[in-house]
Structure 1
Amino acid sequence: MLSDQELLRYSRQILLPQVDVDGQLRLKRSRALIVGLGGLGSPVALYLAAAGVGELHLADFDSVDLTNLQRQVLHDTPSVGQGKVDSALARLAALNPEVVLRPLRGALDADSLAAAVAAVDLVLDCSDNFATREAVNSACVAAGKPLVSGAAIRLEGQLSVFDPRSEGSPCYHCLYGHGSEAELTCSEAGVVGPLVGLVGSLQALEALKLLAGFGEPLVGRLLLVDALTSRFRELRVRRDPQCPVCGARHGQ
């Protein structure tokens, strides 16, 4: 049940016929893992906490740096030098004390990542490197958990949903293969702050749709954001039957 306080807090969301009280209850009973509490993870964590997702599991091994504050709006100047998980805990608890927060402060190895994914209903990859994205994808495929994946660098962003519960859904590896050893990070190539805010907000929206059960998630579709021209493009993405990550799950 929702308390009177919760009904009031989430009233504008509950007014939507696509959400209603039943959808809000589903959000309250949901658990989401956010991998990375930087530029993408900031709006993801803030909006999911504000929306009333019952449990947020927060994973990040890094500390807040002054250069982060241009885009990582979850953190502030007094939190510089503090662990990002601890900074996030304070901000999110102040935003919505109804939400249960589970900190994951260290780097996740294969075993701890598998356990973290198994403990939730949905995973949001807000990391900034290919190795982590591949590891998170593999863990989600193995556990059968949906993955909302976002990326942003320079003036370009990408977003997709990979859902191993759906027979036709590709996984991250189907789309990106083995990646590139020459992959750049924001610290090397730069990024404009509102772009990561936009992509992260869209990740949060996709998560709410999946958890509350409304709308059409971005499964099998890749959304491309061009911040320079303010244009969006959508590409269809098919599952690779020979994919070494998800092929075996679908009997290939």
Structure 2
Amino acid sequence: MSTVPARTDPVRYVAIGDSFSEGVGDDGDVPFPGWAGRLAVGLADHLSGPVSYANLAIRGRLLAGVLDGQLDAALALDPAPTLITFCGGGNDMLRPGYDVDVLLGRLAEAADAVAARGIRLALLSPADPSARLPLGRLINARGDAWAEALTGFSRERGLPFVDVSRDPHLGRAEFWSEDRLHMNPLGHQRVADLALHAIADGPEAAVPRVPDATKTSVGEELRYYRDHVVPWVRRRVTGRSSGDGRVAGQGDWATVVPSRSGGPGRLT
């Protein structure tokens, strides 16, 4: 059963979340980068008509920041959205005091607010970068706990859910960007395909066929820690965020047309 409005109804889709939903790491040559932008194009193609798209996600945001700021902005869009995707909690896993029950309580309040407006809400678990990160075991355990909580919550509420963190393919290095924390274009497209299937009864995501990643040398490992790990640690120590001072990249509605109608999805 489709979980988006029928084609006779307008489809206005807005994404809220952190760097994952913002699309960090997707440097592909596409008009709307990130899995959310790719999903918007996929929806337009699948539904054979234009889709309004906005993306309010900002990197570095904790779950509370997503729900306190971005959700209100999403609900204030004019005209109102018909579909909201939420993915958050990934940055919370990297903080002390991580508590799944507290996060789930905040999400329940948000889901109630969305449902009261008659808007569809779809949930995604955060991508799991733990395989090649420091503190990977801790991140993986916390990610599994959050994904399990989201699975139960979405089932209870009847919401579409994409379990990105436990996808059997996305843990592979081939789907991740140089910083090992954000997905590359292949990863974002995989998530978009999974989301289209879960949200709009799109085709089931195909098993990805990509070359195996090559092993990194000692020099490459040292450069990785210098260029990515050390700056991340410095931000934590100083209390700064990669999203400080940033605003949403697509804060108002853009029209995405089907890629089959004379070119890729584009602003109109």
TM-score, normalising length from structure 1? 0.39
Greater relative contact order (CA < 8 Å, ≥ 6 in sequence): 2
TM-score (norm 2): 0.37
- Between Structure 1 and Structure 2, the one with more strand by share is 1
